[in-house]
Amino acid sequence: MDPVLLLLLVLLGFMLAGSLIAVETRDLLSSVICVGAVGFGTSLVFLLLGAPDLALTQVVVEILVLVVLVRVVITRRDETRVTSRATLPVGLVLLALGVMAAVVFGMLATAGDEGLKMRPFGDPLLNEQAEAAVMAPAGETAPEGALAQMPKSVGGAFLAHGLTESQGSRGTGAANYVMGILLDYRAYDTLGEATVIFVAVLGAYAILRKVGRSRHAGNESDR
């Protein structure tokens, strides 16, 4: 078997164990640490699958979140003991694990010479017309002869056109293709993502603020 795939399966088992412990443990601090371990496993998986950008982001976010959560948990440890004692029924857990093992081994058993029965990276998903439309500059149609030379997928088209000027595509000039797609071809998506973060931060301020709260609490008639 592919050593990377084997490593991925081991990491998957580690992350599953971490998630189960995080759900089942009674100590809040242990739970938080287990969630952190699962996050670091995720970043390793990203690294093994060839996505260093995602791995880096996952690691730093995981560190920050772990620090914040550990601090909150340690601060509030004495007042809040565990509230929920409901443990999952053992039978249900065993059933879920059995189904999962059946799926994994079924996939491994039916895998041919080319590995798991999944679409390999770079395989065409859209037809060539759509690809040509995707790669044409805004407001223009694709050039006539371009269809034959087009790469076979959108991802391949981005890889072929992303760097330098060619075939009516301007090129981004970014050596990091991921950034070229995130902030040039798909900058709208990034704008939406930035909006999501902005709204999340606003929500955190609104929930955790103390100015309005204390004034409100001081006003007896409002209660």
User: Which residue ranges make up the site for another protein (CB under 8 A)?
Assistant: 52-53, 55-57, 60-61, 63-64, 67-68, 71-72, 74-79, 138-139, 163-165, 170-176, 178-180, 182-184, 187-188, 190-191, 194, 197-198, 200-201, 204-205, 208-210, 213-214
H/E element holding 103?
helix 90-110
Residue 63 or 104 having the CB closest to another protein? 63
Residue 70 or 111 having the CB closest to another protein? 70
Residue 118 or 199 having the CB closest to another protein? 199
C-beta of 18: minimal distance to another protein in Å? Answer: 22
For 146, phi then psi, to 5°, come to -70, -25
C-beta of 171: minimal distance to another protein in Å? Answer: 6
Q: Which residues contact 178 (CB under 8 A, 6 or more apart)?
A: 53
C-beta of 55: minimal distance to another protein in Å? Answer: 8
Residue 36 DSSP SS3 = helix
C-beta of 178: minimal distance to another protein in Å? Answer: 7
Helix-then-strand count for the chain, H and E: 10, 0
CA-to-CA separations, 10 to 13, 54, 81, 95, 107, in angstroms, rounded: 5, 20, 34, 21, 16
Query: Quick one: DSSP state of residue 98?
Result: H
C-beta of 192: minimal distance to another protein in Å? Answer: 11
Residue 112 DSSP SS3 = strand
CB 33 within 8 A of CB 73: no
Residue 63 or 118 having the CB closest to another protein? 63
Residue 26 or 216 having the CB closest to another protein? 216
